[in-house]
């Protein structure tokens, strides 16, 4: 084999590995716990090309809210939808959008952008 072919082969293998990692690898992001104060708790999710962090943890039994800090300008992330809570909010009207989360029992609330392309969740435990 010629040197160029070997080189092309190596590049090809690296690319395939990268693509496989991108699609099948676990891109785990650390879940972030809410700050608890005596009158409640809140977690902030920054919206910028996705949700960061994509998982937030709230404490059961403490009134909870998630603040979405909008820094994205694409139509894709302009709405946040909590299907199970019947919440669909426009994040572009104000910088911070608050979503109240029921914390009376443990559970998970998934949220997504309006097109269901970006996902995150709120865990109550
Ligand atoms: Cu979208």
C-alpha of residue 89 to centroid of ligand 1, in Å: 13
C-alpha of residue 40 to centroid of ligand 1, in Å: 30
C-alpha of residue 53 to centroid of ligand 1, in Å: 17
Contacts of 59 (CB under 8 A, 6+ apart): 33, 34, 36, 41, 103, 124, 125
- DSSP three-state, residue 116: coil
Q: Is the torsion defined by CA of 109, 115, 116, 121 positive or negative?
A: negative
* pLDDT recorded at residue 98: 97
Question: Which portions of the chain are predicted below pLDDT 70?
Answer: 16, 19, 22-29
C-alpha of residue 67 to centroid of ligand 1, in Å: 19
**Residues of the chain by 3-state class (helix, strand, coil), percent to 5:** 20, 40, 35
Contact (CB, 8 A) for 52 and 118: no
CA distance 103 to 88: 19
C-alpha of residue 78 to centroid of ligand 1, in Å: 8
C-alpha of residue 118 to centroid of ligand 1, in Å: 6
* Residue spans per domain, the chain: 32-124
Third-level CATH fold of 32-124: Immunoglobulin-like (2.60.40)
pLDDT single digits (tens) 46-66: 999 999 999 999 999 999 999
Burial class (CB within 10 angstroms; exposed 0-12, middle 13-18, buried 19+) of 85: middle
């Amino acid at each position: 084999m010629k040197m160029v072919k070997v080189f092309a082969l190596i590049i090809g293998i690296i690319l395939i590995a990268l693509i496989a990692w991108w699609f099948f690898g676990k891109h785990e992001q650390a879940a972030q716990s809410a700050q608890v104060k005596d009158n409640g708790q809140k977690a902030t999710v920054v919206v910028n090309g996705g949700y960061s962090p994509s998982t937030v943890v709230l404490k059961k039994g403490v009134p909870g809210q998630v603040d979405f800090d909008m820094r994205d300008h694409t139509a894709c992330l302009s709405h946040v939808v909590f299907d199970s809570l019947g919440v669909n909010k426009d994040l572009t009207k104000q910088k911070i959008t608050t979503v109240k989360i029921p914390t009376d029992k443990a559970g998970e609330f998934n949220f997504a952008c309006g097109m269901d392309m970006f996902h995150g969740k709120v865990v109550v435990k």
